[in-house]
Amino acid sequence: MRFDVLTIFPELLNSPLDEGIIRRAIQNEQIEVGMTNIRDFATDKHSMTDDRPFGGGEGMVMKPEPLLAATKSVNPQGSGHVVFLSPQGRQFTQQVAASLSQCEHLILICGRYEGVDQRFLDHYVDEEISIGDFILTGGELGAMIIIDAVTRLIPGVVGCSDSISKDTFSRGGLKYPQYTRPRTFEGEDVPEVLLSGDHAAIEEWRFIQAMQRTKARRPDLFAQLEFSAQEEKLLVKHMLVAGRVHRR
């Protein structure tokens, strides 16, 4: 899979791309990541990529010509999926990451200043994506989040495939608590069930812990979950639901 990031600050993402799983994925040729400086496509002697907004107002707006030229340079056939990082876009979730992981070529455009000329967004961007209800100085960190989340869903990038399917949000809820050595830490023991060797009991404990955590911390997510008949019985047994819930 190939990612192309369009930005006026291409060096911002050098460090995250040089570490951990992302670095290994690049070295193993599972992904390619290209950085394109939008300023290289400005047409004036000062390499301006922004200008004052028509109608007045605060700040500056990114010009459409450099953005279009930069986009065409990495997507000449128009076959890539073009994403603009924007607080006005659809919310980035694990499910959105899974859908984007099916793309062969993802172009991530990082805005700056007060926004981007709407004509470019209307005609040359496939979708706008937001990483949350807050404002950053630019889209670069959002682009890196998308690269990270999408890359780890590409088969073979993460060594243990089960860790992907059991991640927080992968089935819609939060993940159960985890423990490792030492067995006792500052007077607190690891839950006995995890030491029992009873895999069925461990799976039941993990499911209930995950659902208790989801209901307590993210009741909005819990309300959307659907369960099998067996899971429903466990939820009733542990008094997490009082009656019938949706079946999947």
Check residue 163 and give its pLDDT: 60
Determine, yes or no, domain membership for 160: no
Check residue 153 and give its pLDDT: 96
Please say which residue of 94, 124, 151 terminates a domain.
151
Q: What is the mean pLDDT of the chain?
A: 92
Instruction: Find the CATH number of the domain harbouring 204.
Output: 1.10.1270.20
- Judgement on whether residues 70 and 140 belong to the same structural domain of the protein: yes
Classify 45 as helix, strand or coil: coil
- Judgement on whether residues 37 and 139 belong to the same structural domain of the protein: yes
- Judgement on whether residues 206 and 131 belong to the same structural domain of the protein: no
Instruction: Find the CATH number of the domain harbouring 26.
Output: 3.40.1280.10
pLDDT > 70? residue 165: no
- Judgement on whether residues 193 and 146 belong to the same structural domain of the protein: no
Which residue's structure tokens are 């839950």? 191
What's the number of domains the chain is made of? 2
Comparing 104 with 247, which gets the higher pLDDT? 104
- Judgement on whether residues 111 and 205 belong to the same structural domain of the protein: no
pLDDT > 60? residue 175: yes
Determine, yes or no, domain membership for 53: yes
pLDDT > 90? residue 222: yes
Please list the active-site residues. 87, 114, 152, 167
- CA distances, 118 to each of 67, 68, 69, 75, 125 (Å): 12, 12, 16, 20, 10
Task: With cut-offs at 50, 70 and 90, classify the pLDDT of residue 243.
Answer: low
Q: List the domain range (segments joined by +) for residue 59.
A: 2-151
Please name the helix (run of DSSP H) or strand (run of DSSP E) that holds residue 108, with its range, or none. Answer: strand 105-110
Q: How far apart are CA 138 and CA 113, in angstroms?
A: 7
Mean pLDDT across 83-101: 96
| Residue percentage of the chain with pLDDT more than 90 | 84
Determine, yes or no, domain membership for 158: no
Determine, yes or no, domain membership for 159: no
Q: Is 246 exposed, middle or buried (0-12, 13-18, 19+ CB in 10 A)?
A: exposed
pLDDT tens sequence across 188-212: 999 999 999 999 999 999 999 999 9
pLDDT > 70? residue 246: no
The DSSP result for 57-107, as a single string, is -SS-EE-HHHHHHHHHHH-TTS-SEEEEEEEEEEEP-HHHHHHHTT-SEEE
Give pTM, 2 decimals.
0.85
Please say which residue of 151, 184, 204 terminates a domain.
151
Check residue 46 and give its pLDDT: 87
- Judgement on whether residues 21 and 119 belong to the same structural domain of the protein: yes
Listed residue (45, 81, 50) closest to 64, CA to CA: 50
Check residue 241 and give its pLDDT: 85
Read off the tokens for 213: 């955590």
Please say which residue of 151, 175, 196 terminates a domain.
151
Give me the amino acid identity at 245: V
- Lowest average pLDDT, out of 60-64, 155-159, 166-170, goes to 166-170
Please name the helix (run of DSSP H) or strand (run of DSSP E) that holds residue 116, with its range, or none. Answer: none
Determine, yes or no, domain membership for 71: yes
pLDDT tens sequence across 45-80: 888 999 999 999 889 999 999 999 999 999 999 999
